[in-house]
Amino acid sequence: MTTDNRLEALREAVAAALADVEGVIALRRTPYGDVAPYLFTDSTEVANLVLEPRYPVPDTLQVIQMAHPEARLGIVLRGCEERGLVETAKHNQVNLNNVRAIGLNCTAEDAEFCRCARPYVGVWVTESVGERVEGVGDARVEAFLALPQEDRLSFWQGVFSHCIKCYACRNICPQCFCEHCALEQDIWVEQGVIPPPFPSFHAVRALHTLGKCVGCRECELACPAEIPLTTLYSLLRRDVQAMFGYETGMDLEATPPFLARLEV
């Protein structure tokens, strides 16, 4: 199925959903030609709905719900965004009870580009547009693991040395919602140093994605220095699954490991 088919099907699905909800959050091409998240409330507007470029719309859901907690909203979600919302919901940032989600399954090219293992919805979203394609493995993670142990430090030093500390990775991250960010505290990350002190900045950020990061790759796409951030986060996500049996974003009920007691 081509992108165009998906787009038409999605516009129809959004227009149909508008009969049920007060508004649907999706990407819209503005009259000025750029693309931004938008709350579609009228079915005549859906002609401006677009799929690209990608932007994490779950943040918009959070913002609207803060102002209107009772509103019944719709939202268009990719597979990664759906799984990310599972985690934000567990951390009480959004309420999914009153949300009608329209899934948008990614194409094989998207999956290839994102090195995505699960480019489709289906954890809690039942309605979806586009054919489900199989996921792909992450060759970068495998390539990293093939590095000898003594080369790892210089590998990260090399890529982190390009960091200009713009905080784009944190700002775009749908899972970063703390009001007081540890990355801005001198005690954990010395301030006023560029590139940020190795490895504090990136290690602290990696630790704060634990049990929350679903690997949506927004940080990596936003990074102007092209740091392979998700290689580190994917490794840790894999470890969280191996150690605690917790697959991030895949279960609405399971308690995140770092919020749960041990079972003794």
Partner 1 sequence: MVSETFEPRIVGFLCNWCSYGGADAAGTARLKYPPNLRIVRVMCSGRVSQELVLRAFREGADGVLVLGCHIGDCHYQDGNHRTSKRMPILRNLLGYLGVHPDRLRLEWVSSAESTRFRDVVTEFTQTVRALGPSELRRVREREVVA
Q: Which residues bind partner 1 (CB under 8 A)?
A: 144, 149-157, 182, 187-188, 197-200, 203-204, 206-207, 210, 232, 235-236, 239-240, 243-244, 257-258, 261-262, 264
Q: At closest approach, how far in Å is the CB of 71 from partner 1?
A: 36
User: Of the two residues 117 and 236, which places its CB atom closer to partner 1 in the complex?
Assistant: 236
Q: At closest approach, how far in Å is the CB of 120 from partner 1?
A: 28
Q: At closest approach, how far in Å is the CB of 235 from partner 1?
A: 6
User: Of the two residues 126 and 161, which places its CB atom closer to partner 1 in the complex?
Assistant: 161
Q: At closest approach, how far in Å is the CB of 223 from partner 1?
A: 18
- In this structure, are strands 127-129 and 99-104 parallel, antiparallel, or unpaired? parallel
User: Of the two residues 80 and 232, which places its CB atom closer to partner 1 in the complex?
Assistant: 232
Distance CA 262, CA 153 (A): 33
- In this structure, are strands 127-129 and 49-50 parallel, antiparallel, or unpaired? unpaired
User: Of the two residues 55 and 198, which places its CB atom closer to partner 1 in the complex?
Assistant: 198
CB 241 within 8 A of CB 195: no
Tokens for 67, please give them.
């102002």
Q: At closest approach, how far in Å is the CB of 107 from partner 1?
A: 31
CA distances for 111 relative to 117, 133, 134, angstroms: 7, 8, 8
Q: At closest approach, how far in Å is the CB of 211 from partner 1?
A: 9
Tokens for 194, please give them.
């560029």
Cα Rg of the chain (Å, integer): 19
Q: What SS3 state is found at 164?
A: coil
Distance CA 105, CA 171 (A): 25
Tokens for 228, please give them.
């392979």
Query: Whose CA is closest to 100, among 137, 77, 128, 74?
Result: 74
User: Of the two residues 47 and 147, which places its CB atom closer to partner 1 in the complex?
Assistant: 147
